[in-house]
Every structure is written in C-alpha cells, then in structure tokens.
Amino acid sequence: MRIEKCWFCSSNIYPGHGICFVRNDSKLFRFCRSKCHKNFKMKRNPRKVKWTKAYRVIHGKDLSGDSSFNFERRRNRPVKYDREITRATLKAMQTLEAIRVRREQRFYENRMKGRSDEKRRAEKIELQQQIHLVNAPIHGPKVEKSNTKLLMKTNVVSSSKETNTYE
C-alpha cells in the first residue's frame, strides 16, 4: 500500500482518498482534502499558511533536520520479496517510530523551556497594570454590618436547635 503526501500540507494520503490534479506539463499534484486543493488554486504559498507542515518546519515549531526522516523518502526501485527482509523492515520501523517520538518530545520540551517563566512575568505585569479591576468596590445593595451579624447568629442558633422558627 503506497501512502502519498499532500502537495500543500504534507499530510498522508491513503489509497482511495484525496484529489489528484495534473497540470498541462504533466506535473502531478496530490491533495489530501478540498481545503488544500482550494488553497492551491488560490495560489497560496504553503510556507506562509500557518497550519501546513512547511510553515511549522520553517518557523522552528517542528523537527526538520532529523536523520530519521531519510527513511521516509519515496523510492521507486522494485525489490524482490523476501520474508526476512520484510520482517526486519517492520521491526526497524517500530524502533524508528519510538526514536522519532522521543526526539520530538525532547525538541518540544527544549522549545517550551522558558515559556512558563515568560508567561508568569507577563501575567504579573498585566496584574500590576490592571490592579484597579481587582480592587474595585462592590456595587450592590448596602447592607449594615450589625444586621448581617444578627442574621448569622440566628441561623446558627436555629440550626443547632433543629427548629424551623426564624426571627
């Protein structure tokens, strides 16, 4: 089963899915969904559209220079079927996927390392600038303090006696 890549967003296209556009010079463009096809027809640059793989790689949000990506390249050389080679390939694919997941996790952690301190500093500055919102007086009906104390005492007394009489 051959899994193609979308020309616009670089996501996987499985058999029976997607759209194939052939230009007059016989250049083939495969798209995973109509969203990618429409963006291509509008002549948008995938490197400038934020949700594409190209944008994420260019702006340092995804791992790009990893050697594990070399195994994913498309090769058109026919190879004679051999059960042992197939078994070794499948085993290597599993270990390669585990290595890739660990590298991506490490890359993400390194990228997000200083974010919590930076976010905390920004929130502190915002709080200092907007402190008048935190200390705003309550605008509501004015209640005397002596009445509230009296009501609280009567509620406590009534609950301890377990009677439903209110004063």
Q: Which two tokens stand for residue 156?
A: 């406590």
User: Residue 61, CB half-sphere, CA atoms under 13 Å: how many?
Assistant: 9
pLDDT at 43: 96
Instruction: Report pTM.
Output: 0.50
pLDDT at 84: 93
Domain count of the fold of the chain: 2
Range of the domain at 12: 1-62
Dist CA 41 CA 110 (whole Å)? 37
* Same-domain check for residues 31 and 84: no
In a domain, 122, yes or no: no
Confidence of residue 162 (pLDDT cuts 50, 70, 90): low
pLDDT at 31: 98
Contacts of residue 7, Cβ cutoff 8 Å, sequence gap at least 6: 29, 30, 31, 36, 40
Q: End of a domain among 96, 113, 130?
A: 113
* Same-domain check for residues 57 and 72: no
Residue 26 has pLDDT above 70, yes or no: yes
pLDDT tens string 106-144: 888 988 888 888 888 998 899 888 888 777 666 666 655
Residue 145 has pLDDT above 80, yes or no: no
* Same-domain check for residues 50 and 11: yes
CATH classification of the domain holding 46: 2.30.170.20
Dist CA 76 CA 93 (whole Å)? 19
pLDDT tens string 46-99: 999 999 999 988 888 877 767 776 677 777 888 888 999 999 989 988 998 898
* Same-domain check for residues 69 and 58: no
pLDDT tens string 27-53: 999 999 999 999 999 999 999 999 999
In a domain, 36, yes or no: yes
In a domain, 12, yes or no: yes
Question: What's the residue count for the chain?
Answer: 167
Residue 33 φ/ψ, nearest 5 degrees? -150, 170
